Structures are given as C-alpha cells and as structure tokens.
Amino acid sequence: MIAEKAEKILEKHNLCNHCLGRLFASLGKGTNEDRGRAIRFVINMERSARGLPPIQEPEKCELCDNVFERIPGIVEDMKRAAEGVEFETFLVGSRFPDGVKDKEKVIWEEFGVDTAEPINREFNRELGKAFGRATGKDTSKSPDVVFIVEPYSGRIELQINPLYVYGRYRKLVRGIPQTPLPDFEESVASIICRPFSRITGGKCVFKGAGREDVDVRMLGNGRPFILEIKRPKRRKFDLKEIVREINESGKVEVLDLRFTTPDEAENVLSTPHRKEYLAFVLVEEGVTPEEAEEVAKKLRGLEVHQRTPWRVRKVRADKVRVRKVHDAEARWIDGKHFELRLVTDGGLYIKELISGDNGRTKPSVSDLLGKRAWCERLDVLNILD
C-alpha cells in the first residue's frame, strides 16, 4: 500500500528522495532520504515487472527546490556567523516560505497522507547533524546558541543565549546603592558586573534577592544574587579570578560564585528569605536597660502591619503588608542608645519598624517604648535560607 500510494504521488509530483521519504516519516527507521530512495527502488521494481518505465529522482524537486543540497554551504555560513563566539551546544531552527509549507500540505491532503513530517523539521535535523560533524559541537535542549536559518535567502540569525551565574555578596561599606542611582559613581551591581562584562563581552544584568538601603551594610553570609549575562561571546572563564578582582575593591565581596541554570536563577529570586538585622537605636528621651529588654521581649513573635513606607511610596505599591518578627534581642549601650538584633520575615522595613513611620507601621518600637525611637545605623547580618 505504501508503494502504491507513493507511485500515485510520483506520477503527479516530481519529488526528490527527501520529500518522498518525508511523506512516510513515521514508518520505520533511518533518514527520510534513505526511506525515499528505498520506496522509489521498490516502485521501480514493480513498474519494471509491469513493463513501465522507472520514475527517476528529478533534477529539480518541485516541492523543496533541492534545498537539502544547500546544507554544506549553509554549514560554512553558520561557522562564519559564529566566529568569535564561544559555545559547546547549539540548536538549529529554520524559516521556510509559506508557499513551500502550503504546497506540502496540499500533497498530504490530496493523497490522504497521515505519516508525514514538516519539511522544516527534517531540514533542521539534517542541518544540525551536518553542523555537528563539521564543528564537533553537540545539540542540546538548553543550548548555548541557536541558529535560525532562512535556507532560500541564505540569511542566518545567531541567537546567543544568556549565561547565568549565582553568588552571594557582602557590602562592607555604607554609602553605595545596590544598583546604579543618580549621584552615585558606583554600586554593588557595577562593581560585580564590571569584570564579567569585560571577560565575556556580553551585557551583565544584576538581580539581587531583595535589597538593602544605600546606608545599610550587608554582612554575614551575604545576599544571594543572579547575574544574567546577555549575548556572551565567551562562556568559559575562571570564576576564582573574578572573585579576587571584585574582593580587591574593599567595598564589596562575593562568595559561592558558580554557573547556574535559568530555572534555579528564577527560584533564587522568587524564594522569600528571613533576614537577621542589627539596628542601632536612638531614643532622645532616654532609655534604660530594662526598657530595652522589655521591647525585645514584646517584639518576639510579633505580627506587624506595615503600610508601604513614606520614603518609598513612589516606587512601591501603596498597600499594607503583614510580616512577622521571629526573634529579638536587645543590648543597652547608654542612656539614649541600645542595639536590637532582629530576625524577621523578608520584606519588613526595619527602619520603619523602629520609628513607626508616623503610624504607617503598627506596632513599632516607638509604640512599644511609648517614646520616639529612630534607627541610626542598620546592618543586615545574614540572609537565612
């Protein structure tokens, strides 16, 4: 029945072995070209027995215009398109004219073919195999680069997929923002991204798992971050050298740098983290050791309703967030100062937890003391994963 249907198709359409075999792609194993050659051989044997002339492979295929013969030249064009780009894995995609795809579907419908595959699928596979043999590179579902080929025009689009790096940073000094801001010469992001951009030749995008204010240090185990390096020309380099260069800044330190995947990067950035803080609290009206300890006692396990702080209302949605203080310890310093070590849910604004932000945070340290309190200094001690 296969030979009978194929003979009827070939009597009406001049198809190459690729396009003939592709009509029966889901039957048997091997390449479509081999399948088409075998089907044509069987047809011609039967035609010879019936005294009919053979149906030879045409010089020009009416469906694909012998596009598969262009593969060796396209491979060379792909190699030129990727010059200067470091990669180990790739994928191939293609854009075929609608006219070719429509003509193919007409043949399927005309002869009731339900075992075929589209021309672009075979072309991508065969071109990928040829490029892999020529370069020693491997195909992958998560490739370093993707080639989009227009086989008739010869146009090749090279998509260089991003490179992802996970790490944690410590901000050792006050007075620098996490990401670039007007009036600041540098930021945590610029200090970390600078060597990555230089080495990879790509654009480095910094994404932190939360952020701290300009005047707040990030200490302890460091804040997790992800670097997305777009269109990197280089993908292999020594992360230890980058750690050394960043840490020599004296302002920012990085640790635990490693390459990661897009899925893990998304998980790092979307997972909430508890945080441990050390706040230096000022009480102008004066504070005793007993009052400091009583505040810490009342804070433990406290649920806080916090409306978006006044100072960030222009860049954050104005809503009430409910966060919890999981632990609190106080250390009295002098008649006007004490330290608070806090462990809280992520997203709780500590400065406003202390001041009350004119009633926008309830309860606050000011409420619990019955006196106005301010956060003079704040450090993030740890991000608790």
For the residues 243-265, what does the mean pLDDT come to?
97
Average per-residue pLDDT in the chain? 97
pLDDT of 118 higher than 90: yes
For the residues 162-176, what does the mean pLDDT come to?
98
Catalytic option among 77, 213, 215, 345: 213
Helix, strand, or coil here: 280?
Answer: strand
Q: How many CA atoms lie within 13 A of 327 on its CB side?
A: 9
Q: Residue 211 has what pLDDT? A: 93
Helix, strand, or coil here: 316?
Answer: coil
pLDDT of 189 higher than 90: yes
The DSSP call for residue 30 is S
Q: Do residues 355 and 372 touch, judged by C-beta distance below 8 A?
A: yes
Q: Residue 315 has what pLDDT? A: 81
Confidence of residue 362 (pLDDT cuts 50, 70, 90): very high
Q: Is 349 a known ligand-binding residue?
A: yes
Give tens-digit pLDDT for 152-166. Answer: 999 999 999 999 999
Bridge partners for 330 per DSSP: 340
Fold that domain 163-270 belongs to in CATH:
Alpha-Beta Plaits (3.30.70)
Nearest to residue 175, comparing CAs of 184, 163, 167? 184
Give tens-digit pLDDT for 45-89. Answer: 999 999 999 999 999 999 999 999 999 999 999 999 999 999 999
Nearest to residue 384, comparing CAs of 320, 341, 352, 353? 341
For the residues 333-339, what does the mean pLDDT come to?
98
The DSSP call for residue 70 is G
Q: Residue 132 has what pLDDT? A: 98
pLDDT of 144 higher than 90: yes
Q: Measured between alpha carbons, how far is 293 from 298 in angstroms, rounded to an integer?
A: 9
The superfamily (CATH) of domain 2-160 is THUMP superfamily (3.30.2300.10)
Q: Please state the φ and ψ torsions of residue 15, each to the nearest 5 degrees.
A: -115, 140
Ordered strands of the 138-139 beta sheet: 138-139, 89-94, 145-150, 155-160
- Indicate if 274-384 has the same CATH topology as 2-160: no
Q: How many CA atoms lie within 13 A of 51 on its CB side?
A: 0
Q: Measured between alpha carbons, how far is 21 from 9 in angstroms, rounded to an integer?
A: 12
pLDDT of 5 higher than 90: yes
Nearest to residue 261, comparing CAs of 379, 365, 163? 163
pTM of the model: 0.88
Percent of the chain topping pLDDT 70: 100
Going from the C-alpha of 139 to that of each of 22, 84, 92, 144, 155, the distances in angstroms are 22, 19, 8, 9, 21
318 annotated active-site? no
Q: Please state the φ and ψ torsions of residue 162, each to the nearest 5 degrees.
A: -65, 160
Q: Measured between alpha carbons, how far is 161 from 164 in angstroms, rounded to an integer?
A: 10
Fold that domain 274-384 belongs to in CATH:
Alpha-Beta Plaits (3.30.70)
pLDDT of 361 higher than 90: yes
Q: Residue 183 has what pLDDT? A: 94
Residues 6+ apart with CB under 8 A from 269: 207, 209, 226
Q: Residue 385 has what pLDDT? A: 75
**Helical H runs in 288-364?**
289-299, 350-355
pLDDT of 313 higher than 90: no
Domain boundaries, the chain: 2-160, 163-270, 274-384
